[in-house]
């Protein structure tokens, strides 16, 4: 069900980005942080289209709401089977898989944005679901959820890119 909704979300109104494609399933062995997991067998997966506050970045302190984002991710996926859906690039420069993640009927990337645990961060060419994430972020901001609840903290803070994080 969630897979069909995800594929439909990238439908014909998105002429600039091809539809994501399901390619892999796996069991989550560990949650690294709010937007990165490790599958059984050791493969790391970085969530596409989103960015969460840092908790393990070398040389940077733990960011506000980082532990909360990590815990939200853990509650959604740890120890569970997931479906990974790839966009245009399958891996980043660190060798991590880049994916939209589905567990049961939950689109994890979107849930984290909608609940205010993540901000939108799309890096071309992986932009198939950008407008979906932007709509969810706008709603989370308006409701002052999670990272959007503290004036001046996470607001409009953008990082160099999801491919820049080495978790």
Secondary structure (3-state) at 112: helix
Is 80 part of the annotated catalytic residue set?
no
Residue 15, in any domain of the structure: yes
Give the range of the structural domain holding residue 141, as residue numbers without chain letter. Answer: 2-151
Q: Exposed (0-12), middle (13-18) or buried (19+): which is 102, by Cβ within 10 Å?
A: buried
Q: Is residue 52 part of a domain?
A: yes
Instruction: Give domain status of residue 110, yes or no.
Output: yes
Name the active-site residue from 13, 14, 43, 46. 46
Q: How many domains does the chain fold into?
A: 1
Helix (H, G, I), strand (E, B) or coil at 163: helix
Output the domain CATH number for residue 125.
2.40.50.90
Catalytic residue list contains 91: no
Active-site entry in 14, 21, 43, 54: 54
For residue 85, is it within any domain? yes
Is 166 domain-assigned? no
Q: Which of 68, 96, 114, 162 is catalytic?
A: 96
Q: Is residue 158 part of a domain?
A: no
Within a domain: residue 25? yes
- pLDDT of 64: 85
The confidence score (pLDDT) of residue 128 equals 94
Is position 158 annotated as part of the catalytic site?
Answer: no
Report yes or no on 49 lying in a domain. yes
DSSP 122-158: -BTTB-TTHHHHHHHHHHHHHTT-GGGSSTTSSTT--
CA-CA distance, 141 to 133, in Å (whole number)?
A: 12
- What is the residue-level pLDDT of the chain in tens, covering all 167 positions? 454 455 555 443 333 444 566 689 999 999 999 999 999 999 999 999 999 998 887 888 878 898 999 999 999 999 999 999 999 999 999 999 999 999 998 999 999 999 999 999 999 999 999 999 999 999 999 999 999 997 545 544 444 433 333 44
């Amino acid at each position: 069900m969630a897979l069909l909704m995800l594929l439909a979300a990238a439908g014909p109104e998105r002429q600039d980005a091809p539809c994501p494609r399901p390619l892999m399933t796996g069991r989550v062995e560990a949650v690294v942080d709010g937007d990165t997991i490790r599958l059984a067998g050791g493969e790391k997966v970085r969530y596409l289209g989103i960015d969460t506050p840092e908790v393990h970045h070398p040389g940077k302190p733990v960011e506000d709401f980082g532990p909360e984002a990590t815990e939200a991710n853990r509650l959604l996926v740890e120890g569970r089977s997931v479906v990974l859906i790839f966009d245009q690039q399958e891996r980043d420069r660190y060798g991590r898989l880049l994916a939209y993640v589905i567990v049961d009927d939950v689109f994890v990337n979107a849930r984290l944005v909608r609940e205010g645990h993540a901000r939108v961060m799309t890096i071309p060419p992986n932009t198939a679901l950008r407008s979906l994430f932007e709509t969810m972020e706008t709603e989370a901001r308006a409701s002052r959820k999670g990272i959007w609840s503290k004036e001046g903290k996470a607001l409009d803070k953008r990082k160099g890119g999801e491919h820049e994080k080495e978790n």
